[in-house]
Every structure is written in structure tokens, then in C-alpha cells.
Amino acid sequence: MATHKLKRPPLRYPIIPVYEILKKTAQRLPEKLAAIDPRGGRELTFADLDQESDTLAGAFFSWGVEKGDRISFFMENGWEYLVGFYATMKVGAVVSPMNPTFRERKVKHQINDAESKILMVQHTLFPIIERILPELPTLEKIIVIRGPKPKKEKVFALADLLKESSTFLALPSLRIHPQEDLAALPYSSGTAGLNKGVMITHFNLVANALQSMHAVEAREEDIFISFLPFNHIYGLTYFLCGAIYLGVTQVIMARFEAEECLRLIEKYRASVLFSVPPALLAFLNLPNAANYDVSSLRFIWVGAAPLPPVVSRAIQENFGVPVGRHYGLSEASPTTHANLPGRIKENSVGIAVSDCQDRIMDWQTGKQEMPVGEPGELAVRGPNVFQGYWKHPEDTPLALRDGWLYTGDIAQMDEEGYVYILDRKREMIKYQDYQVAPAELEAILMEHPAVQDCAVVGIPDDPSGEIPKAFIVLRVGWTVDPDELMEFVADRVPPYKQIREVALIAEVPKNPSGKILRRVLKRG
């Protein structure tokens, strides 16, 4: 146990429904821009967002949407997401966001599993819905955003609904209990199979919006570039909740494009960038990145996947801005840790956010707390921890034990309470009697000048159990002998951690949040 553990000051959390975040900011800053959506061609003030979400909530109410009903979102980032999200909150329904890259199988699974009553869908994605519509028995209404409205029964255009006068009032009968009633049902961004719904209450979201914005020291005068997907808990909490709570103006990107992101940073003088490692790699690989003025940035925060130190250092050198890691997971709404902005430790995800307790437990039984510096499973407890898995009560006790959320990540903690994530528990390579973290080897490989990107997985080996195999993406114009890469790692690690095989590939498969899809590499 840490003896000089740093702690953040406690915060006060209002026990309110999520929509009160918007109501309070709209009263305080009615004319300030809440969202600038260049691709969507709209700018919304906080008053606009409040009024338009009232109008859409009126439509939901007239359709018989009740507290606890699920509304699925199948679309890219846009101003419509904000309107739909707060309209859903205002009628006490539950937002179930879907990845807009999903195809029919996963879309059908998530809508049916959530038993969603309403679907908001981007017009370019409507053909996917149309093909599986007979297999979506719980859907009663579909709202299409942008583009022409399909001529189908029970299909509505958002633009038409927003032209109607609002019929929504916060009725006395609509009593939301923030600590019990669900606000969001995101599906965990696992790397295998069909994912499970994560039950997050209004209080969980409000608490983590405050915890997150306090930890990253964001301010009302900041300007965010919002390219992280709103369907992912990282983007949902930071942009749909945190930015609205602070009164920050956010510039929305439908999807990440490195050069366009730099152009928007320059144009709007963005001050804080929330990012993921693949985006930073894309900046570094952009030949004309130096042509853009990013001097307005005062901080870049990176989460969702391991950040190789060489990438962090290069971004700090090229952009002249500090880069800090933070960490979370869907089950924690999501943020549990962040570096102290004035005291960043390389490789660390920082200390626990306010009012979040953390400890490192033995990874075999999860019952013994590990000493400082010893690896084990990270467990956390706080107001942001979820209520359980939707329709999977048998899995909930595996994650939630005596109020503690067991993250499934192997980590170690230093004396000041800074946490270092080693890797996912299920992805540790079992070499003989040792546990080898792929992320550690990947960070070393990224230091080699020929390596643009990489991934390490364990592959079966009869005498050893598993051996580490590296998959390497080379920089354009470079060639390298696999033996050289193996020697490069061998010079920096104990013998049991050495890379035993190397394969050159064109691209490392990753999910939208930047996590390596190791199962794809293992399949070959």
C-alpha cells in the first residue's frame, strides 16, 4: 500500500437528472455557442440546444415514450446527437449509442438486446436499418437525420419534428431518481464477440462529468475539438456531458481526419484536445502538420489505449504542448485516473480522480492488496461506477465485488499513487511461469526508427506455453531485418520477455477507440 499517496480534493455532486446540466448552463450562458458543426452546417447556442431538445422531447412524449424506455442512436457525431441526447434525458428515457461503423449483425443485436422503442439514424445508414427492419420487433418509430426522409410508415425526419412547436413540459409525474434510474446504456467496447450493455445512471454520468473536467482542469473559456465518437463512453461523457456542464464551446467533427482536425484547431483556436493514440500517430505521419498553427492548444489528453512514450514525446516536441494520459472504462462512466496536469509522469495514467478509491489486487483471487510496485488487477470504487450488466446479472458479480469494480487491467502503483497500466488481464502472454505484458514490448518497438506501428500477441508454443510475436508496420521507405528488431528488444528486457517471432504487416487492426484487435492477429 502506498505510503505517500496523493489525493485530489473531494467534490460536491448534485443529485440531479442529466438534463439539468444543460438547463443550468442555458440559464447561465444562453447566447454562448454550445456547438459548432461545420459539416452539419449549424451553430447552436446553449439556449438553442435547450429549446430544440425540448421540442424533440415533446415528440417523444406524444409518442408515448416513458421513463426507462431505450432510444438507440446510430449516427456519426453531429449537432443532432446533442439534441437527441438531451431530449432523451428530458423524458427519462435511456440513450443506447451504437457505433456507426457497425453492420447488420451488430446493429440488430444491440437494438434487440436493448429493446429500443425509438431509433435515431443517419440517412446514409438507413439502408442498413431498412434491410433488417422486419427483425427489429421493438422499434416503433425511426427518426432520420439529414438527407431526404424515406417514404416509409413510422419514419420521421428530425428537421420536420424540430419545426413543430414544443409540447413538452417537465411533468410532475416524471420523477427521475438520479441514483437509481438509467441514463445511458452503452455497450462495452470489448475486442471479441457481441458486447454487453453497461447500465449507467444519471448520477454516474453527472458525477463523472464533474470528476473528469476537474481532473483535466478544463475551463469554461476552453474550446474543444470533438472528434472522439459520441457513441463511445469517452466522447459521450466528455462532450455530451462535461462540455455542457462547463459551458465550453465545442467544434464537432463527424469523424477524425488528421489534417482537418489541425485546420479546425487553427481556425477556432482550440485549447484542449481529447485524443486517442491512433490520432496522435496520424498527426505525426502527416507531412505538412507543421504548416498549421496549433499554438492555442494548452493541453492534449490521451486515453482509451496505451500510448507509446515515443509518440507522446514526438507530439510534445512538434506541437509544443504537454500530453497527459488518463484512463477509464465504460463501467466507470468512464474516467478513474488522470495525470496531475502540473506533474505528468511518463507511462502513467496518473492518480485517481476525486472521490475514486483505487487499489491493486492480486490477479489470481482478487482478495489480497499488492505492495507498492507489485503488479496486480486494478480495482476502483466511487460515485461513477456502473450498476451492472444489462440482462447479464451473472456477469455483474465478476466485475463488481463488495462495491469495488475490478477493471480487468493489470497495473502497478508507485508510492505517490500514480498507476501504470501494464495490459489487459486476458491479453497477458503466459511464457513459462512468467506473465508478459504486450504493451510494454510494443512501447519498446515503437522506439525503433523503422517502426511506424506494431502489435505483440502470444502465440502457442509447446515447451513454453506462449511466446511473444511482434507484428510490425514499417515506415515508408524503410527496410529492416526481423532479427534486428528482436535484438533491439532483447537489449532492453529480461530474457523471458524477448520477442521470439516477427511478421511485417500493412496495418495493425484496431477498434474505433484504438485498442489493438489481438484476436485478429492470432487468427492470422
97 is written with which cell numbers?
A: 449509442
Res 439: pLDDT: 80
Using left for φ > 0, alpha for ψ between -120 and 50, and beta otherwise, residue 154 falls in left
**CB-count burial class (<10 Å; 0-12, 13-18, 19+) for 5:** middle
* CA-closest candidate to residue 349, choices 405, 262, 423: 423
- Which tens digit of pLDDT belongs to each residue from 344-384? 998 899 999 999 999 999 877 888 998 998 888 999 999 99
Task: State how far the Cα of 522 lies from the Cα of 524, in Å rounded to an integer.
Answer: 5
254-260, long-range: CB < 8 A, 24+ apart: 254/39, 254/40, 254/76, 254/77, 254/78, 255/76, 255/77, 255/227, 255/229, 256/227, 256/282, 258/282, 258/283, 258/285, 258/286, 258/289, 259/286, 259/288, 259/289
* CA-closest candidate to residue 73, choices 155, 144, 169, 153: 144
Cα angle 18, 179, 15 (rounded to 5 degrees) comes to 55
Res 166: pLDDT: 57
Task: State how far the Cα of 189 lies from the Cα of 200, in Å rounded to an integer.
Answer: 15
- Which tens digit of pLDDT belongs to each residue from 400-458? 998 999 998 888 999 999 999 887 767 778 776 677 878 888 888 988 999 989 889 88
394 is written with which cell numbers?
A: 451473472
Under 8 Å between Cβ of 482 and 476: no
Strand partners, 103: none
Task: State how far the Cα of 445 lies from the Cα of 80, in Å rounded to an integer.
Answer: 42
- Which tens digit of pLDDT belongs to each residue from 317-347? 999 999 999 999 999 999 999 999 999 998 8
Looking up cell 476552453 gives 222
Task: State how far the Cα of 260 lies from the Cα of 272, in Å rounded to an integer.
Answer: 16
Under 8 Å between Cβ of 431 and 466: yes
**pTM of the entire structure?**
0.85
Cα-Cα end-to-end distance for the chain: 42
